[in-house]
Amino acid sequence: MPAPKVPVSRSDAHSWLITGPLLLFGALLSLPILLSEKPQPTDHKFGYALGLLALAALATPLALRFDIRRQAFTTRMDDIPVVLALFYLSPWLAIFVRVGAGLIWNVAGVRLGPHKLAFNTASHFASIATANLIVFQFGLGVNESPVTWLVLAAAVFAGNVVAVTAIAGVMVLLQGVNQLSHFLKSSLIGFAVIGVNIVLGLLMLLTLEASRWGGLLLVALAIVLGVLYRSYSQFFRQHRSLTEMYALTRDIAATNHDGTLPDVLLGRVRALVAADSATLWLPEHGRHHEVLLSARLDYPGLLDSATTPDLFRQLAMRSGKTVVAGPKAGPPELQSALQEARVKDVIVVPLRSSGIAIGTLEVAGRLGENVAFGKDEVQLLETLSVQVSAAVENSRLVDRLQFDANHDALTGLANRRRMLGALGEAMTGRGPREVVAVLLFDVVALREVNDSLGHDAGDEVLVQVARRLRDLAPQGALVARVGGDEFAVELRTASADAAVTVADTLRAGLRDRMVIDTLTVDVDTNVGVSIYPDHGSEPEALLQRAIVATYVAKSRGIVQLFNAGLQSRSVRRVGLAGDLEASLNTGELEVYFQPKVALKDRRLVGVECLARWEHPVHGLVATPDFVSVAEHTGQLSRLNGVVLREGIRRAREWSDAGRSLTVAVNISVRTLNDADFPLQVSELLEEHGVPADRIILELSEEELLASGRGIPALKRLRDLGIRLSVDDFGAGRSSFADLSRLPVQEVKIDRTFVQGMATAPSDLAIVRTVVDMARHFGLAVVAEGVESELTLGLLEDMHCDMGQGFLFSRALPYERFESWLQIQADADPTVAPAGEVRWLRAVP
């Protein structure tokens, strides 16, 4: 795109290239009259000349400005005395009147510089010389003759053509040809006004010729015309301002959605107040960067700088009031700042929103050497500032809504919608040897952080993960938050292997410890990768397959690249979700029972209830699989409830049969977030008439210690008499000091340590320590995974309370468990009257 053409700008001194030829041109036109022997009227004419000079000097400042289709032309009443001077005076006195009136106004009125004064004088001289020559050549007929009217009209018209041509010439010389078309269009309207002035001048001439006393009427007419000219001038200025205000308001309203407010605003404001520059300044606010743009008379586009000294806008922002300064306005320090910046005058109006200054609208350098900004321009800008403030706020609101629609509020990253859009664009614009990769990061254990440290801490983890991903991601990659604890990175790379390498690097960078308040948190992620075109042709499909890969990565602990086999497993899980709900509704889910044995005398003291699901198509579904499905579909609490109800019901039956067995049920810590859960347990116990101390609720060590919000529910359950147990103790990072703050009565040692204690001294030491410490804290100990007599003997030596494992029995369905109980009782001749079974035999 070519750069905009900057208009030519030369100093006023170059105007002598036009002024000199104009003087020469006027002199040449005057030669025929000077050399002519034709007599010139002289009787009583000098008095006329002085009167007409006074009339011309009074008429010159009376200017009328017309606006047609945003074009402007300024004309004056000095053509009227020129008509009279051409008729009554000699050519030399006519020159005296025309040039003298201009000098009086330019020196005493506007006080132009020497270059402009010389040009105006030469222009007046050339124009009156042209008119003199026409009158001299064609002569004047009888006073009342139309020939006289035509000659005078042609003379005045021709003189104005010369003046307009001279102005056009100097404009092209100083500012270039760009402004010429605008000036010529305005001049066409001005010549119509000149015609009106000529007619008025001829009417005055006829009145004077009819009666000398008509001069009194002409004086009155001149006064009336002067008042009318001023009134019309003010009317047209107001009309122009209202028209521009309406057009500007309409255009501002149309820019709220396209971000072109400065382009529309500044050029129009600059032209409206006839300023050298107009500036919009919006300081940095939130995520909105600073805006400083200016429209200049000598530049067609917008500049990112301003002629207004910074002192003025800071003062306007602090005070919230309009700041005006110029040659005769403003305090000395502001005038001094203007002189240093070489700016004639300035108006700075604060933009307000809800009573707070949000920026400024500024104009600087009123066009015209002897013209300054006044009260009208201040009022105009203050009126405009209301519209501009509303437009800025609306523009920011639209921008904020668009940003919010495409970004995550917490992290500021792109959201799922923006991610899918960018993914589609990347797919379309990728290179021939590129692949588009989606790296999906699932933050591990975020829910536990929320439960233990609060949701504010969880949010801080997400914010830090987002910040790290932004910093670590390759240049050109898009980082987005696409789920509660899921982040995605979209990038173009050379191959799938390269994408996996980037994912490994990012995952390693995210593993650095995070400090949340005063706590140090270890955060890990599961990462799945999918690529286009190998794994999908649609953005949604590509992201979904990255999610599938991430799900598999949870169990493997590696960065997982998607493959078709993973998709079938994912589809199977989706199917299981619906089937699980149906199984819960129809009671197809079965509860198995595994014995818990007192190691001191090998007496059966209780059972653990375990859910099993035999799917009609997939067969026996692994417990971790359907528990995970229940967790992700919100059915885990219901699953826990089914197992708990079945356990309590069987406890009642065993109690009626003379077997006082405890029933242990695994529940999720998230179940404790339900404030009604303790009440539901109490109602189940009351419904079946089971004592509360027969029920043991087991919670995993990691979940239990991470949860802070579940403690009140645990205390309510304890108060009901229900026993609480910590499952898989030792697998996490907790200590007995951590357990001391929880209302638990039992710990279950993780099976990995129990199974290894016969061969690994370290595992043996861990189990021994747990048993000793539990006894110190008054907690019962259950060893899981007892599978050999050697292990059993070691546990007995440690005085471990209870054991559970394949050495005694696997988990059995209710009917087989009842048969196992009967076998144990029949095989043992020493059966207690209460139905207690001793010296249990293993069941494979």
Q: Catalytic residues, which ones?
A: 784
**Separation between Cα atoms, residue 385 and residue 353, nearest integer Å:** 11
**Separation between Cα atoms, residue 726 and residue 703, nearest integer Å:** 10
- HSE-CB of 364 using CA atoms within 13 angstroms: 24
- Pair type for strands 346-353 and 323-325: antiparallel
15: left (phi over 0), alpha (psi -120 to 50) or beta: alpha
110 contacts 159 by C-beta, under 8 angstroms:
no
Give me the phi and psi of 421, to 5 degrees please: -65, -45
**Separation between Cα atoms, residue 493 and residue 324, nearest integer Å:** 58
Cβ-based neighbour number of residue 178 at 10 Å: 14
Contact partners, residue 828, CB within 8 Å, separation at least 6: 837, 838, 839
The DSSP secondary-structure symbol of 787 reads -
152 contacts 140 by C-beta, under 8 angstroms:
yes
**424: amino acid identity, one letter:** G
Residue position matching structure tokens 């308040």? 517
DSSP string, 290-318: PEEEEEETT-SSEES--SS-HHHHHHHHH
> Helix H segments across 211-273?
214-254, 261-272
Tokens of 623: 């417990």
DSSP string, 389-440: HHHHHHHHHHHHHHHHHHB-TTT--B-HHHHHHHHHHHHHH--TT-EEEEEE
Closest CA to 376 of 231, 237, 226: 237
Closest CA to 82 of 70, 64, 66, 100: 100
**Separation between Cα atoms, residue 678 and residue 681, nearest integer Å:** 5
- β partners of residue 362: 279, 348
537 contacts 477 by C-beta, under 8 angstroms:
no
- Pair type for strands 525-532 and 519-521: unpaired
Instruction: Give burial (CB, 10 Å; 0-12/13-18/19+) of 645.
Output: middle
3-class DSSP state for residue 348?
strand
Tokens of 119: 């040009």
Contact partners, residue 760, CB within 8 Å, separation at least 6: none
Going from the C-alpha of 346 to that of each of 125, 310, 327, 705, the distances in angstroms are: 36, 12, 10, 68
Buried b or exposed e, range 150-163, using 16+ CB within 10 angstroms: ebbbebbbebbebb
Instruction: Give burial (CB, 10 Å; 0-12/13-18/19+) of 39.
Output: exposed
724 contacts 699 by C-beta, under 8 angstroms:
yes
Contact partners, residue 401, CB within 8 Å, separation at least 6: none
Tokens of 655: 């109690």
50 contacts 208 by C-beta, under 8 angstroms:
no
**Separation between Cα atoms, residue 282 and residue 313, nearest integer Å:** 10
Contact partners, residue 510, CB within 8 Å, separation at least 6: 441, 465, 468, 469, 472, 523, 524, 525
